[in-house]
Amino acid sequence: MATPGGDHGHIENGGINIHVDEHRYKAGRATDHSKRKTSRLTFGHRREEYEPALKDFEGIPRMNIAILITGSRGDVQPFIALGNTLQKEPYNHRVRICTHGNFRDFVKDNDLEFFSIGGDPEQLMDYMVKNPGIMPSFDSMKEGDVGKRKAELEEMLLGSWHACTEAIDSYDLSKRKPSLDKQNFDLLDLPPPFVADAIIANPPTYGAVHVAERLSVPLHMMFTMPWTPTEAFPHPMANMDYSKEDQPIANFLSYGRMELLTWTGLADIFNRFRLRTLLLDAVDPTWGYSIFDRLKVPFTYCWSQALIPKPEDWGDHIGISGFMMLSLGSDYTPEDELQKFLDAGDKPIYIGFGSITLDEPEKFAKTILEAVEKAGVRALISKGWLWENIDIEVPDNVHLLGNIPHDWLFKRVSAVVHHGGAGTTATGIALGKPTVIVPFFGDQFFWAGMVSRAGAGPQAVPAKEMTSDQLAENIKKALEPEMAEKAQELGGKMKEETGPKTAAEQFQSTDQLKSVGCFLLPDRIAVWRIRNTNVQLSTLAAAILVSKSEIKPDALKLIRHKRWLVSEGAKTPIVGMLSAITETMGAVAIDSVDFKRRLQGKGYAANQDKAIADGFSKEDDADPRQIKMMQERLLLPSGKVAGHIGLDIITFPVTFFYNAANGFHNAPLTLLNDPTVRMHDEIYNLRTGLMVSGKEILFGVYDGFTGLVTHPYKAAKDGRNRKGGVAVGAAKGVARGLGGFVFRIGAAAFGIPGYCFKGCEQQAYRWAEINDDLVKEEDVESFKRDIQNSKDATPFKQLLRQHAYGTGAMKKVMERRVWQGFRDIIELQKKPAEYQDVEKMVMQRWKGLKRVPRS
């Protein structure tokens, strides 16, 4: 199994000790996927190619962008600044912030659309304080905290899917229900449908990459702490154990180790979400942990180049935007008591710990007050969650604050003391304030180290170890002229940066967002493709063409702008064969858990019918009718679980041969550091399965035989300048060539049944979803009737039923895309002149499409 080198151990502060294996590091660095070849052959029919009507259009197609965020208010705030930028000129996108329900008002107050993905940030903060790193403490496991967090994670995974495909969340729907229950209404009273055309997310929102794979839409990750392997600094949650010589190696390896630990602990939840909700293949942790790096997912890191320059080993798909700060203080007017305190003496220091929760808040509060007294300073202390439930008397040199914009407040203080959240750190440094960080968990330790290294703050003392004397000493150091000057110097450099603007430009400039516009209305995102052509259509253009009978509905397919091959497969044959067994066992376990949940959570033996529950536990005393009702109630879930388990067992040969084929295919790269291993295409139906199988035979045999010659030659040539010389190099080349030949022949042999069986399985799933990416004639006719009689309540009820009960994950998406097109028509028809102009333009451009000559 190819995993990052080194051993690990859990330590008291929650981090992970990383020990270095230099040989495995070099092997891992050699297996870089960024320059691998792909298998290219022109199998199958050729589609008709056309030029867009305005091929020189340089504008930006308007899109639905879902921004998925997990974390505290400080994690959400930068994305509000980004969202405001993306929904204004020159982008004009529809932006939806998808995060915890606690931030609904915060998001809406900043004029952005909101959707709750579930989860409670206060409970998350409490858990993170108790468990600062990846590994939970024994006490947390004993108290059931881990199980609660897993349940919350499942809720947020499902919430991520709903946020990218639903028109409105359940809370807002309940608020609008009275206006939607009336008999006479306009169809535009319905909330406008939303399907994400692109996703922006921070890495702790684990569902983002899986949803992007299901929707086949562009994905862009943004974060305030490093998540990409680099030699420059370690993963923020890793406690490094290295000598000076191997420091870069250990830094690089720490990222893979952290991701592998996460995937090992949460793979069952990820795969249940993929299998049950998204209808995607399961992903084994042994290759799932490297998704972002392997797929080269675009990343933007939201920090200042002045504070942390971009590491030299990061590729072009990674950018630094500068801090994304939200200006909230321009219109703020302080209360009289606060203004009097500010005017009463020297500039105070600021102390605040945001969303942090503690088991002993009174003790911590007393430590802070003692440190202020020992440092001999005046202080503004933010209450936050820490001071909410305690009653403690404060001296005259301390003033307690409510929720006040930091960009207003920090201009009026001499230094800032806080937990090290990225947003608070950014605001303090940007305004030139020396910073004392008291880290509790996560990226707070990273930011503490970076601020100290830049000279803008003293070396941090972790919250669990901090005493009043240590905090007082750090406050005095921060107020020294040298440190204050350095903070002001950094602040001056950061004023030149435009974080949200730069992040928006980096997002919009990625290759995945090129050529996504409609061929007829290029200022709109294309969501449909006409079958057997390259013609891309927006919802409005397709609706007009269908309504004019220019194209048939079944000629439209949902477009896939970006295919994410999340599961590239096993790294070696042994891993592949073993993972087939564990995948099947895992699928059976998931089915069993689902069965148990149906019984417990859906009322089969609980809430909804207590009589049945009583009969379930006391069968001898039960009425015969209760027993019969209980049996009938159990019949459906029992049948379902039996069917699912039976399917898991039947499809075991598919899983076995497919994983084994991938193992043989990837083994030369993993075991022999052979960079010539090609990336095979995605298998999503029978035809692509046959194509991948054929390519595996042709290219596998070709690369195997040519490698017997090319590997010894290249290795001997490289050996001239290496220890051992040409002879040793040639011997290594011969071994690599022979080993590669054996593995490639094995890949071809297992690929015939493996990839063909996989194609059959995927084709069966597509049939089961009732061609979920094809538009059906009866659906379109239903929408046409809705337009013709939009005052009738019956079509509305039919529409709601269609909206709520799709037959597959993508069936719902297809229906919402259709409805969006006809809603666009309804909106335009309220402006007859504008509608006629748009309709005329679409028809003229449709008639004028030029076919590209075949070469």
The yes-or-no verdict on residue 403 having pLDDT over 70 is yes
Q: Are 335 and 409 in contact (CB under 8 A)?
A: no
pLDDT of residue 20: 55
761 and 795 both lie in a single domain: no
| pLDDT band at 800; cut points 50, 70, 90 | very low
382 and 313 both lie in a single domain: no
CA 344, chain centre distance (Å): 48
The yes-or-no verdict on residue 226 having pLDDT over 90 is yes
pLDDT in tens, 648-694: 677 788 888 988 998 899 889 888 888 888 877 778 788 888 999 99
Q: At 477, list the tokens.
A: 């150091």
Q: Mean of the per-residue pLDDT values for the chain?
A: 81
The yes-or-no verdict on residue 498 having pLDDT over 50 is yes
| Span 286-309, average pLDDT | 90
How far is it, in rounded angstroms, from Cα 289 to Cα 438?
31
301 and 361 both lie in a single domain: no
DSSP annotation of 524: B
207 and 73 both lie in a single domain: yes
Residue listed under structure tokens 């022979």: 738
How far is it, in rounded angstroms, from Cα 836 to Cα 829?
8
Length of the chain, in residues = 855
- Higher-pLDDT residue of 183 and 291 is 291
The yes-or-no verdict on residue 138 having pLDDT over 50 is yes
pLDDT in tens, 682-727: 787 888 889 999 999 998 889 999 999 998 888 888 877 777 677 8
How far is it, in rounded angstroms, from Cα 679 to Cα 245?
35
pLDDT of residue 649: 75
pLDDT in tens, 533-563: 999 999 999 999 999 999 998 899 999 999 8
Domain boundary among 467, 486, 509: 509
| Span 773-801, average pLDDT | 47
742 located within any domain: yes
| pLDDT band at 496; cut points 50, 70, 90 | confident
698 and 846 both lie in a single domain: no
Q: Are 747 and 664 in contact (CB under 8 A)?
A: yes
Q: At 400, list the tokens.
A: 């307690």
625 located within any domain: no
| pLDDT band at 442; cut points 50, 70, 90 | confident
pLDDT of residue 171: 77
Half-sphere exposure of 505 (CA within 13 A, CB side): 10
92 located within any domain: yes
Contacts of 400 (CB under 8 A, 6+ apart): 381, 382, 383, 387, 394
Q: At 245, list the tokens.
A: 């010589």
pLDDT of residue 4: 35
- Best CA proximity match to 53, nearest among 853, 855, 847: 847
The yes-or-no verdict on residue 379 having pLDDT over 90 is yes
124 and 158 both lie in a single domain: yes
Element (H, E) at 159: helix 145-165
730 and 798 both lie in a single domain: no
302 located within any domain: yes
- Best CA proximity match to 549, nearest among 851, 188, 846, 849: 846
DSSP annotation of 275: I
The yes-or-no verdict on residue 321 having pLDDT over 50 is yes
416 and 345 both lie in a single domain: yes
pLDDT of residue 741: 92
- Higher-pLDDT residue of 47 and 153 is 153
Give 233-250 as a DSSP string.
S--TTEEE---STTHHHH
Dihedral sign (CA 791, 797, 800, 805) = negative
- Higher-pLDDT residue of 617 and 450 is 450
- Higher-pLDDT residue of 131 and 484 is 484
CA 237, chain centre distance (Å): 19
pLDDT of residue 618: 39
Domain with 376 in it: what CATH number?
3.40.50.2000
Give 75-104 as a DSSP string.
HHHHHHHHHHHHTSTTT--EEEEEE-GGGH
Domain boundary among 466, 486, 509: 509
- Higher-pLDDT residue of 420 and 43 is 420
In degrees and rounded to multiples of 5, residue 193 shows phi and psi of -65, 155
311 and 199 both lie in a single domain: yes
- Higher-pLDDT residue of 361 and 537 is 537
**Which residue range(s) make up the domain with 845?**
516-562+785-850
555 and 584 both lie in a single domain: no
Give 305-367 as a DSSP string.
TTTSPPPTT--TTEEE---------TT----HHHHHHHHTSSPPEEEE-TT---S-HHHHHHH
- Best CA proximity match to 172, nearest among 154, 140, 194: 194
7 located within any domain: no
pLDDT of residue 112: 97
Q: Which amino acid is at 132?
A: P
Q: Which amino acid is at 17?
A: N
747 and 803 both lie in a single domain: no
273 located within any domain: no
The model carries a pTM of 0.81
- From residue 329, alpha-carbon distances to 332, 409, 418, 494 in Å are 5, 8, 19, 18
The yes-or-no verdict on residue 433 having pLDDT over 60 is yes
DSSP annotation of 776: -
27 located within any domain: no
- For 324, counting Cβ atoms within 10 Å of its Cβ (0-12 exposed, 13-18 middle, 19+ buried), the class is buried
| pLDDT band at 145; cut points 50, 70, 90 | low
271 located within any domain: no
How many domains does one find in the chain?
Answer: 4
CB contact burial 791-827 (16+ within 10 A = b; e otherwise): ebeebbeebeebbeebebbbbbbbbbbbbbbbbbbbe
75 and 214 both lie in a single domain: yes
DSSP annotation of 558: E
Domain boundary among 710, 742, 768: 768
